Structure 1
Amino acid sequence: MDHEKVNILLVDDQPAKLLAYEVILKDLGENLVIASSGREALEVLLKTEIAVILVDVCMPELDGFELAAMIREHPRFQKTAMIFISAIQVSDIDRLRGYEMGAVDYVPVPVVPEVLRAKIKVFAELYRKTRELERLNQDLEDRVRARTAELENSTAKLRESEERRSMAIAAGKMGSWDWDWITGDWMWDEGQYRIFGVGSENFEVNPANVQALLHPDDVDQLRKAIAEFNKGTRSYETEFRIVRPDGEVRWCVGTAAATADDSGRVVRVSGVTVDITERKRAEERQNLLAREVDHRAKNALALAQSIVRLTRADEVKAYVSAVEGRINALARVHTILSLSSWQGAELSKLIEEELAPYSLGGQIKLAGTEVQLLPATAQTLALALHELFTNSAKYGALSTRTGQLAIGWQVENDLLTLIWEESGGPLVMTPKSRGFGTRSLLASVESQLGGQAQFDWRAEGLLCRLEVPLVRKTAATTAPGKFEAASSAELQRASG
């Protein structure tokens, strides 16, 4: 029969005897380990798992009794089976001493092979069975530990779930209820009372009172649920609104499950109510934001389309450069506005974004207090500033290293005044006609913002004065986007 081999240690100082023991025991099919002295046997024991020890009583240095005593002192070998072989007549006292040292049996010399094999086989099989039982016991303990850990984990999850439910109920976000379908009796927990905004001490829970707290447009949901349960439906979920006694409207989602008797008749309905008002409001804000983003995107595309259509240039390269510059200016102000969730933009930030590509060191000086611009005003001024910077870089003060540009602004009575003053650049001459940039700047500032743009083409450099109302009482202050959408039409008129 196939089985796991065990190690049998043979200890004797005479090689001939060891060889004889090997010949006798080899038919057992076990692993035979040889030791020619007590000390060698101890070394083997420390390195190898031994099932049975066959040891000669009479050995020099360390005899069998002394070796047995040393083996038994080690906790790992206290149960290892030891069989003594003795070539001398063993008295009862010697046997008793051997048993005290841990021997399990004696084999006299001359050795009868069949007897020795039988004794070794019995103890080897006993060792094997003991190990198998230990493994089974370990496996059982592992299973018990795993099952215990699983139960503890399930218990922890259940406790955590109950804690979350308790926290939700305590926060007024969740409530549970029970309705006896036969008697009509209702039971609400504290969370249910909190959601509906009533007190358990002065509110009687019955169908009429509950219906009175439902939003008039959602009363049919209750009737529909009752009809569904009467038809055999076992679960139902719906969203509905309640109107608290103080007039506040709250959104809720209700989940109900029916319990039926043996005949299939509904006898009880239990459910949970969750206050989802905040989620509904967040969804409304998200939908509003999506519509606003769509609206602003269309306005931006319309403005970009006008820029592309109305830009004029003698060469393709110049045309591409002008279009890219104006669209990039629009993109930069959109980035600034998006970072503020379209609440507005600081004027200084707009100016810094526009002058950033020039890297002119000390040629530009800025002076002014912080001014927060509305989105529409920021977009228009960003394009106006872009035109001023572009013209200055091409023809004005910023086209030479000696040129100087001073930009100053102030606010008084909700009127923003911005002064653009160039000096030290090329000689300036009053243009015979206004280009697209100048015309679009005038149209946007005057028509869109209700302000004024004045140009003084001085020989030493351009002086431009922009006056922009920060609060409009015209169509510009109506719904977001109407004023922005007008920009394309204004640009078209400017190009004409």
Structure 2
Amino acid sequence: MASLVKDGGIMEEATQASTLTILVVDDEPDISLALGDLLGNEGYQVEAVETGNEALRRVSPTHPYSAVILDLGLPDMDGLAVLKRLHKQDATLPVIILTAHGDQREKLATLQHHAFAHLIKPYDRPEVLEMVHRAVAVKDLAMKAAQAEQALTSSETQRQLEQQRTHTLLSESEQRLQLALKAGNMGIWDWNIISNQVIWSEDVSDLFGLTEGPLPKTLEEFLPYVHPHDRAMTAEAIRAALEEDAPYSLDHRIVRPSGEVRWLSCEGQVKRDSHGQPQRFLGTIQDITSRKQQDLQLRESESRFREVVEAIREVFWVSNPEKTEMLYISPGYECIWGRSCSGLYASPQSWMDAIHPDDRERIRASALTKQSLGSYDEEYRIIKPDESVRWIRDRAFPVIDQEGTVKRIVGVAEDITERKHVQHGLQALAEASWELTGPTLFETLVWELAAILNVKFAFIAEHLNGKRARTHASWVSGSFVAPMDYSLSGTPCEEAWKGNRCFWGDHVRQHFPDDQWLADRGIESYLAYPIRGLEGQVIGHVAVMDVRPMAQDPFWGGILEFV
């Protein structure tokens, strides 16, 4: 087959058939050259373009191609948009996606928009050749079918001649057709409504899981294969197509004889006589079990993600880099900011309105610069609608595509108000202890501890001989009390005497039923740390107690260890 490539076009000898030409659309010259060598060795003519617009200009009725190999990452337009427009220009043109994009959702999107196949770079040469052969076979069959249909509209004699030719072509192409159906995991059915007989293509037995025995020959034999939960829906869709001329397009499950459940996608069209009465019902079925499983896994993954981010106290957020669109905000925002999530979606920068005026411009500048760089880690104050002030730690990092473009910003903001209070309390303790000594120091420490940790009881005790202790300073329900000696036996303080950190967040009296002092004052929770001398020996302990349950906060332990 002789052909010349000139100005991007093919000039064919008039006496010969069209060259099988493959159009490669890829902005990477090395890929185009490698595909040209691979396909050229198989006898194909290969043309290469680098942009989507050039590909759309090339494909026309006067410049036919047997197949197109399309990259999704084009410099001038989205590859998926090119795929859609190519299908609109020529619905019979097979388009093979060959891309570095391995995202499953993207693959599903291309197949849903009529891609013949979706292959991933780096590609497997035999796989590419096999898919091109199949695509060319399908295109060849479509062209021949179109030619046959055009011929049938001519004179009766011409129709008879073309009918013979079509029969010959169909006979020669039967193997190619079966190959194409197998590649797509598809089957064909033809239901004669008058005789109520169904004819299936060869591969349908595999779809139904029938290793032996005939395929269902009537509608009544077919419906039992449909999953019980989908049977009524399927029967209704068939009825609507026959009686109301409604489109027949649905997904339903079947149950194979082995008990395995598979998903089928069904498309069909009713053929009617001149009086509008249905005569035949023809269509295709395709096994889409893998696609359904992927969809289910995706939904389950998204559901688990939402369960996690909606349960945590922190605020999980996603925005565009320009901060003009809030893509997601977790419910924690309403609790911490005191503002609605819907309000933030409507006004994506309204979270900044709550920032303390002294911090606002610093955070605004940082958000617009550091977030895209991955160095955003800020602490700032916000003012809630009730005028209370909270401290926030906000961290973010960019999500970057394969071209290095920042697509979105993902971040986590947490309320660190209590941590800030503890830090300030530690500073106050340090400042107080710097200038004080003796009893005055101890009284100041227990008073500060009670205030910082918001508890009713705090004391410092020295350990004596005979498993006894003496308090040097005690803060009890808002006032200091005189020092006292007491036995450590049967009290929670006994663990501190042993040199252990001890904590009971609630129900401490149940653990020490003989400690009357706890019972008289209604103590519910207890936390203590041992105090050690210069040589590491335990010389006393510091403790806090409250009539409410106490959370096990590491910052509380840090304060007591500081003391």
Place the TM-score, normalised by the shorter chain, in its bin: 0.3 to 0.5
| Structure with the higher fraction of residues in strand conformation | 2
TM-score, scaled relative to structure 2: 0.32
Select the structure with the greater relative contact order (CA < 8 A; seq sep ≥ 6).
Answer: 1
Q: Which has the larger radius of gyration?
A: 1
Calculate the TM-score normalised by the size of structure 1: 0.35
